[in-house]
Structure 1
Amino acid sequence: MMLLPKPAARANQLDDNMIPLINIVFLMLIFFMIAGQLTASELITIQPPTSQQQSPIEEHDAVLLVSATAVLALDDALVEANALADSLQRKIADSKDPQTFKLLVKTDANVMATELTDLLKQVRAAGILKVSLATQSLTDRHD
């Protein structure tokens, strides 16, 4: 009878158990990258006014956010109320076609109508003729 030497214990046996775990982690990462949906959060939290008529939001060149406390944000940058017209004129100058520049205004439902009117006067003074006001339907309201 011939004696065979005992096989030496593998030194990297612990590493072999980690490979399936790493594969599972990468598969989960790929799944969440494909299945997940990322949306950009807005700089200012607002609750838009409700409307019974809804039309789809058209493409726009800039977004103006107006909070209930009269804080303004133009394309994710805070803007002072007295500098709004200048900021809008810079946006118009940077656009491809200044004549078709479209502004989307997302305002909080608690903004007074007089404040909104003053704001829209500044928008018109900047030279913007196409303005849309974002609203939400009664069924989408998140009170």
Structure 2
Amino acid sequence: MILIPSPVSRSNQLDDNMIPLINIVFLMLIFFMMAGQLNSSNLIKIQPPTSQQQSVLEEHDAILLISAEGQLAVNDVLIEANKLTEHLKQKISESNDAQSFTLLVKTDATVPVTKLTTLLKQVRAAGILKVSLATQVHSARHD
């Protein structure tokens, strides 16, 4: 009696060829997830002023955005300039520690200093003592 092996199904052989391709795709996915950076975009489009000094951006409790047109946003919520103090007081009351509350100000480079000073007085009136101004690094280009 001669034993004849049963025919192997063709579908299993096709699936076996897909496994290395799936492995490569997953490896590429993991690589791009680790190598890429995702940055959140601001609600208001701003071009920050330049600075010669570099320092690490620390964690802040709130972010104040000031556009060239005078629009204000706190933590991606548009607000009116006359309601800035009340809005910041509310943010301070929501935080755990009012004494360590920090604010990051991202302003457009074209905002007049008088306007910025007025807004910073409102910030101080709200009770915020720790304020940082976000800038971008000045690149010395010789074209």
- State the TM bucket, normalised to the shorter chain: 0.7 to 0.9
Q: Out of 50-59 and 81-90, give the one that drifted further.
A: 50-59
* Structure 1 residues 40 and 140: CA distance shift in structure 2, 3 A: farther
Secondary structure at the aligned position of 1:25 is classed as helix
1:1-143 to 2 correspondences below 5 Å: 5=4, 8=7, 10-12=9-11, 13-139=13-139
Unaligned runs of 5+ in 2: none
Cα RMSD, aligned residues only:
2.5
Counterpart code for 2:114:
T
| Separation of aligned partners in 2, 1:102 and 1:135 | 16
* Structure 1 residues 15 and 66: CA distance shift in structure 2, 3 A: same
* Structure 1 residues 36 and 110: CA distance shift in structure 2, 3 A: same
* Structure 1 residues 20 and 96: CA distance shift in structure 2, 3 A: same
Identity %, equivalent residues: 67
CA offsets 1:73-120 (integer angstroms, 9 cap, x no match): 212222222222121011111122212222111100011122212211
Q: How many equivalent residue pairs? A: 140
Counterpart code for 2:7:
A
Q: Out of 72-81 and 103-112, give the one that drifted further.
A: 72-81
Counterpart code for 1:63:
I
* Structure 1 residues 31 and 63: CA distance shift in structure 2, 3 A: same
* Structure 1 residues 140 and 26: CA distance shift in structure 2, 3 A: farther
| Separation of aligned partners in 1, 2:75 and 2:67 | 14
Q: Out of 45-54 and 64-73, give the one that drifted further.
A: 45-54
Unaligned runs of 5+ in 1: none
| Separation of aligned partners in 2, 1:60 and 1:47 | 20
Counterpart code for 2:22:
I
| Separation of aligned partners in 1, 2:46 and 2:39 | 16
Instruction: Provide the TM-score with structure 1 as the length reference.
Output: 0.81
